[in-house]
Structure 1
Amino acid sequence: MTGFRATVVVREPADCPIADVSATTDDPITSVTRSRVATDGTVVEEFGVTAGSSVETVDTSTQAELTSVQATDREEIYRFERESAADCACEVIERTGTPLSSVRAQNGSLLLTFRTLELEEIANIVDSLRARFDGVLVEELTQDHEDDSSDRVIVDRDLLTTRQREILETAHELGYFEYPKGANATDVAEELGIARSTFTEHLAAAQTKLLDALLEE
């Protein structure tokens, strides 16, 4: 049996305390755990940051109360509670029946990793996220094999319009896809001389074409 492992970046998650905190810290947040209280639907989350980070002074968009639960010389663990929300990127994925393998945050973005058996499932998840959030991109897509044989797919670059290729190339050159980011959406849009919304629309369209090419039998 083979399967796929995907990491999807949500650059503008709505009302996410963990993403808000990651925008103020130098190091990424890599240890995120969640638990749902069955009686009232409250979600309890914990995350770790490098020791010495000024988390207490962060004014999160949700006004969540962050409580320090553990501190060592290397890491500090914080906990907060929130109501189950339809606009939570993690819950959008989990409502499709796909569990998350890991949740990370860096520079205000969420990096959500999950596994599926079919590429179509990844496309559906990306569509669901894009229906609620801006700046949703597939950062990594890999496939596991039973043996060492490869499964090569040739993608015709002519599938992309000249403008879409220019936007992808400019975003790549400016470091838009890197972590930490070398440029944000506004920076790339300014370099191209277009509106930020136009940039994100072209980028999403280009990525959809590339993903569709991978899905073809």
Structure 2
Amino acid sequence: MPAGIRVTVTFPTPPGCPVAEFSEAADATVDSVTTTVASADSANTLSEFLVDAEAVPDDCERTPVFAYADRRVYRVDHDADCPCVCLGEYDTPVHRYFADGETLELVFHARDFELLQTVVGELRERFPDVDIQRLVRAPTGGASQDTVFVDRGKLTDRQLEVLRTAYEMGYFEQPRGANATEIADELGVSPSTVTEHLLAAQSKLLQDVLERGS
């Protein structure tokens, strides 16, 4: 079976995406989106999304295309400056949106690592503030588990040094081969500094292992 990769990326500010711009203007969270994204030269690049009716202010400039009892459906056009269109150009449509007025999170699927590198490179070229949050490889060979890519780049140089030293000295073994005081002596720092860096490093790496909204 093909070993595709699920990719989660975030943008710190709405980068020309009309869904994110609506979220920011209306101060409403958008997380239910249906998208039709074609190539950049196509006129049929549309998204529809649901928003709680109470979350939309009375002075919202957009008019809903449909109204449920407690939700409203809005439709927006994307243009070439939107990351959603960028993904559509590589046949990797957006699988999931989350926009809360401050960040835009997109999830998409790449069929292989080569395509992933191409798409991520293009996103970085067009949107320098993009942050690759998470990469998950699809199960292969009948395995029920998925493979998680852990981003060591999240760690500071000092956190990585402390984590590596702790690992090499057997801190994570049972029974432990070294304690925080011995690691601190090896690095020339205080035991509290070792503990602080280890906790920070483990927290960052666990964010990759324990995916939000998996």
Q: Distance in 1 between matches of 2:80 and 2:20?
A: 17
Partner of 1:51: 53
Q: Distance in 1 between matches of 2:11 and 2:153?
A: 27
2:94 is the counterpart of 1:74: no
Task: Indicate if the aligned counterparts of 1:47 and 1:78 stay in contact, CA closer than 8 A.
Answer: yes
Output aligned runs, 1:130-209, within 5 Å: 130-146=124-140, 147-148=142-143, 162=157
Q: Distance in 2 between matches of 1:153 and 1:75?
A: 36
| % identity of equivalent residues | 33
Q: 1:180-217, CA deviations, whole angstroms, 9 ceiling, x for partnerless residues?
A: xxxxxxxxxxxxxxxxxxxxxxxxxxxxxx9xxxxxxx
Partner of 1:109: 103
Structure 1: unaligned runs, 5 residues or longer: 59-64, 167-209, 211-217
For normalisation by structure 1, the TM-score amounts to 0.56
Q: Which has the higher contact order (CA 8 A, sep 6+)?
A: 1
Structure 2: unaligned runs, 5 residues or longer: 162-204, 206-214
Task: Indicate if the aligned counterparts of 1:49 and 1:76 stay in contact, CA closer than 8 A.
Answer: yes
Cα 1:149–1:163 shift into 2, 3 Å = same
2:30 is the counterpart of 1:34: no
- The one-letter amino acid of 2:18's match is P
- The one-letter amino acid of 1:76's match is R
Task: Indicate if the aligned counterparts of 2:18 and 2:77 stay in contact, CA closer than 8 A.
Answer: no
Q: Distance in 1 between matches of 2:65 and 2:144?
A: 47
Which secondary structure state, in structure 2, belongs to the residue aligned with residue 131 of structure 1? Answer: helix
Q: Distance in 1 between matches of 2:89 and 2:55?
A: 33
Cα 1:3–1:56 shift into 2, 3 Å = same
Cα 1:107–1:165 shift into 2, 3 Å = farther
Which secondary structure state, in structure 1, belongs to the residue aligned with residue 127 of structure 2? Answer: coil
Q: 1:22-44, CA deviations, whole angstroms, 9 ceiling, x for partnerless residues?
A: 23566631222334799972534
For normalisation by structure 2, the TM-score amounts to 0.57
Cα 1:73–1:165 shift into 2, 3 Å = farther
Output aligned runs, 1:88-99, within 5 Å: 88-99=82-93
Partner of 1:119: 113
Task: Indicate if the aligned counterparts of 2:138 and 2:146 stay in contact, CA closer than 8 A.
Answer: no
Task: Indicate if the aligned counterparts of 2:33 and 2:47 stay in contact, CA closer than 8 A.
Answer: yes
Cα 1:55–1:35 shift into 2, 3 Å = farther
Q: 1:103-136, CA deviations, whole angstroms, 9 ceiling, x for partnerless residues?
A: 3322332222111232232232222112122421
Q: Over aligned residue pairs, what C-alpha RMSD do you find?
A: 3.9
